[in-house]
Structures are given as C-alpha cells and as structure tokens.
Amino acid sequence: MKIEFVASADAAEVLVVLVHEGRTFAGNGQTVDAATSGALTKAMTNSRFNGGSNSTLIVAAPAGVDAGTIVLTGAGAADKFDDLALEAAAGAAYHAVKLSGATSITIDVSYLSADQAARAAFAARLASYRFLKYRTTLKPEKTPSVETIKVVTADVNAAEAAWTTYAAVAEAVEFSRDLVAEPANVLYPEEYARRVKALETLGLEVEVLGEKELEKLGFRTLLAVGQGSVRDSQVVIMKWNGGAKDEQPIAFVGKGVCFDTGGISLKPPEGMEEMKWDMGGSAAVAGLMHALAGRKAKVNAVGVIGLVENMPDGNATRPGDVVESLSGQTIEILNTDAEGRLVLADCLWYTQERFKPKFMLDLATLTGAMIISLGLEYAGVFSNSDELADNFLAAGPKVGENAWRMPIPAIYDRHIDSPIADVKNMGNGRAGGSITAALFLQRFTNGTPWAHIDIAPTAWVKDSRNPTVPDGAVGWGVRTLDRMVKDSYES
C-alpha cells in the first residue's frame, strides 16, 4: 500500500468525509456538502446512515465537486472521538471501497493533527492487510483495487515525520501476521529462524541456536517437545540495543510451536489445522523487536523465541516421561499436549540467567482454558509484579487490544506437584487450567519480575469487529508491547 500525505483533497478519486453521530460533519465536510448543493445531507437523510462508527454511505458521482465518489464515514459520537475512533473510521472507509475498482482513496483529516493524519494512514494500511500469496485464481472483482492511501493534512512535513514511526509499527504488525498466517509446511522452525535472521538488516542482532547447541546448553525440556518432529528445533535470540550501554535490558519470550498436534496425547482432528498459529506468542515477540528496531526505540531489549513442532512419532516424548529442565528441576510430562509451557520453561530460565533483565514478559497461545475463561476478545495477564502488569494493561486499551488480569494464587501451586519429579506439566483435571499453566511457568522465572500473557483467545480472529484487524492472523501483542515499551520503558 502506498501512503501519501497531501495538502488538499483536489481531484480525489474517492474522497472520505468523516461524519459524527447525529449526521454532523467533522472538519470541512460542511463545505463539501455545500459544494454539492447539499447532496451529502440529502443522501444521509434518505438513508439509515447516522454517523455511527463502522458505518459508511457511498455517494457516487456527486455534482459540484471534482471527487469521483464521496464516502461518508461514521466516526461515532463527536464527544467520544479519540485515536481509536479515528482508526476505526479510516479502516471502515478502506473496506467500503477496497473492491470498488478505485485505485486510490483520499481521507480528509486536515482539521486534525499531523499525528492523527499519520494514524489514519496507519489504520487504513492495517485494514488493507491480506494474506493472498497462495491465492492464484482470485477473481479480479474479489481482488482489492485500492493501491494508494492519500491523507489530507494541514502539515504535510509533520505528518510525514510522524509517519516514519507509524510505518515501522505497521511493518512489524504485517511481519507478525505473515508468520502467524503461514501454514506449518512452509513455516517450520528453521524457516522461521531464517526469516527472523533477515531482520538483521534493521539493525537487530540475531542469534540462532540449533539442536546441537541446545543440547549442549541443556534445553532438554524444549528438545523433548520437538523430538517427535523431523524438523529441527530452534531458539532464536534477538537483541535491540537502542538504550544506554550499561542499561539492563527488558526481555520478551515467545511460544513458537509451529504446529501442535498434541504429540502422543494427540488432539482430535476437528480444528487441528488451527494449531498452525500456535506460534502466535513468538510472532508477537518477533514483531515487537521488528518495531523497536524499525523506529529506533531508545531501549535495550531482548527477544527469545522457542521454535518447535509438536508431532507424534516413534521418537516422540511419551506421557509419563521425566526430563530434567535447563533450570535443573525435573518435569513429569503427563500430557504431551501441554507442550508450550515446556518450551517456555527452558526459554525463561535461559533468558533470566543470561540477560539478568529488568523483567521478562512471555506471550503464548498456551491454553484452551483461557478461551473458556475470557472468551475470544481478551487475553489473560498473569504476573508476579503489579507494576509490570499495570504497564501492560495500560497500553492495551490505547491500541485496541484487550487484556484482563488473572490471579496466580499459591494455593493452586500444589496442583502441579508430581509424585515422581519436581513438577508436572498439568494440573489436576481441567480446573483453572490457565492458572496452573501460569504457575508452572512461574517456577522457571527464578524470582525475576515476570508477566505471562495467554493469547490463545486473541491470536486469530474469525469474525472481526475491528476494521483495522482483518479476519485471520491478528499480530496480537505487537502494538500493545510497542506501546508499553514507549510509554513505560524508553529513556
């Protein structure tokens, strides 16, 4: 998608005019309406369009203006108009005309700030994301025609300057979505590692650990998950050094199960194909690192992602197997489908030991139980640090990603005690399944301030209500993490 900031809406192919609830024009919509001799007002009063958010009304070939088409776009209540309402409007405007045959749309937000102009472009670009690389026979009328987003602003230079940051985040979200959307035959651990390694061009330092190195280091628990797969397991470490030389880093850890069959504790076939996105946590971490490097964030950050494929096989881990984790704690693997926590156990331990970070924050599509608890609109937040949890929870609502704090009460900790090892990889039955998973992870944090985000509900969306998040891979977490870093950890 091409993005341009322009000083006037002249000769727009498609002109987007924002309208607030109650059919009141925002900005200079009134002037456009007058130029059309009131055709816009007439179109509104003859329709149900009221300016409500996520609604549009197309006025074709209006006389009196040089725009080919005008899209009246609902911006919601004027007194509730904020950055997210602007994003929703820009996204909805894109969707209204994306298949129309028009090649460019012009969004007039000249009455808003330069930052908001850049944000409108950002939202339209996120809305335009589609994963079409394997659609070779897509009919022309089903193929998006819009190639350029023009945003009208009173300060083109300032909008362009603001855009560089927004563009970095948009690219990062797209990178993350692409990883999540890729099928597992294409995106297996080594291919994933190659794609992350390529981010070195952004200025990231990227280390890839293969199975030989992981064995030497003692990642036995992570390797136990991957040992049923013909694909080699990988751990990828990304470093962004944008802060002071001696500044302690912040650390992000991600579950990267490229495909989760459940292993010997095999999942039922219905819906198993969804488990290609069981690497969504790692994609959020890789996306965040992409964003930090892209916008040259003033912070030292590390990202550690554990990449494996969980397969049943003659060499696969069996239920009841006991392995010694990198931490030295022994783990009884009762259910090979509770594999994410095994991958994270070694990655968390390694991260705190090697980097001594200010905090560790992990993201994982960890438990189906999280979907039972919170439904599909909220991720769960588990933390031993109120400050860290609060910083995360403050960032989400600013970028339209919902999360909710969950408890990790010590009284449930005994549910993961094992009679044969130090810990077992599931609780007693299904009660509190997301909590016992978090308590398991906590045993591998060594007291470091830590937060665990269970994104099983939110990594993939089938019925999106958010115009900037098309159905499919969400790239969930990239925006929240980037915002959290910006608001709470940059110098």
Instruction: State the catalytic residues.
Output: 267, 341
Q: Which of 309, 248, 298, 300 is nearest to 275 (CA)?
A: 309
Joined together, the tokens standing for residue 254 give 């991600």
Interaction partner, residue 367 (Mn ion, ligand BES, Zn ion, none; CB < 5-8 Å by kind): ligand BES
Using CB under 5 A, pick the residue from 21, 33, 178, 260 that binds Mn ion: 260
Residue 335 is a binding residue for ligand BES (CB under 6 A): yes
Residue 178 is a binding residue for Mn ion (CB under 5 A): no
Using CB under 6 A, pick the residue from 182, 260, 332, 401 that binds ligand BES: 260
Residue 338 is a binding residue for ligand BES (CB under 6 A): yes
Do the beta carbons of residue 403 and residue 453 sit within 8 Å? yes
Residue 370 is a binding residue for Zn ion (CB under 5 A): no
Q: Which of 162, 188, 206 is nearest to 257 (CA)?
A: 188
- Nearer Cβ to Zn ion (178/260): 260
Residue 361 is a binding residue for ligand BES (CB under 6 A): no
Residue 337 is a binding residue for Mn ion (CB under 5 A): yes
Interaction partner, residue 368 (Zn ion, ligand BES, Mn ion, none; CB < 5-8 Å by kind): ligand BES
DSSP state of 232: P
Determine the Cα–Cα distance for residues 14 and 59; give it in Å rounded to an integer. 10
Residue 260 is a binding residue for Zn ion (CB under 5 A): yes
Determine the Cα–Cα distance for residues 467 and 156; give it in Å rounded to an integer. 25
Which helix (H) or strand (E) segment is 303 a member of? strand 300-310
Residue 347 is a binding residue for ligand BES (CB under 6 A): no
Residue 449 is a binding residue for Zn ion (CB under 5 A): no
Interaction partner, residue 426 (ligand BES, Mn ion, Zn ion, none; CB < 5-8 Å by kind): ligand BES
- What percentage of the chain's residues is helix, strand, coil (to nearest 5)? 40, 20, 40
Residues 261 to 280 in contact with Zn ion, rule: CB under 5 A:
278
Using CB under 5 A, pick the residue from 29, 294, 340, 467 that binds Zn ion: 340
Q: Which of 41, 43, 32, 71 is nearest to 55 (CA)?
A: 71
| Shortest reach from residue 421's CB to Zn ion, in Å | 21
CA dihedral 398, 400, 401, 407 (to 10 degrees): 60
- Nearer Cβ to Zn ion (232/278): 278
Residue 418 is a binding residue for ligand BES (CB under 6 A): no
Do the beta carbons of residue 409 and residue 435 sit within 8 Å? yes
Q: Where are the alpha helices (DSSP H) in 255-332?
A: 280-294
Residue 258 is a binding residue for ligand BES (CB under 6 A): no
Residue 456 is a binding residue for ligand BES (CB under 6 A): yes
- Nearer Cβ to ligand BES (84/366): 366
- Nearer Cβ to Mn ion (206/279): 279
Joined together, the tokens standing for residue 110 give 């000249």
Using CB under 6 A, pick the residue from 368, 384, 394, 398 that binds ligand BES: 368
Do the beta carbons of residue 12 and residue 103 sit within 8 Å? no
CB neighbours of residue 140 within 10 Å: 8
Which helix (H) or strand (E) segment is 252 a member of? strand 250-260
Residue 257 is a binding residue for Zn ion (CB under 5 A): yes
Joined together, the tokens standing for residue 9 give 């809406």
- Nearer Cβ to Zn ion (343/439): 343
Residue 362 is a binding residue for ligand BES (CB under 6 A): no
What residues line the site for Mn ion (CB under 5 A)?
A: 260, 337, 339
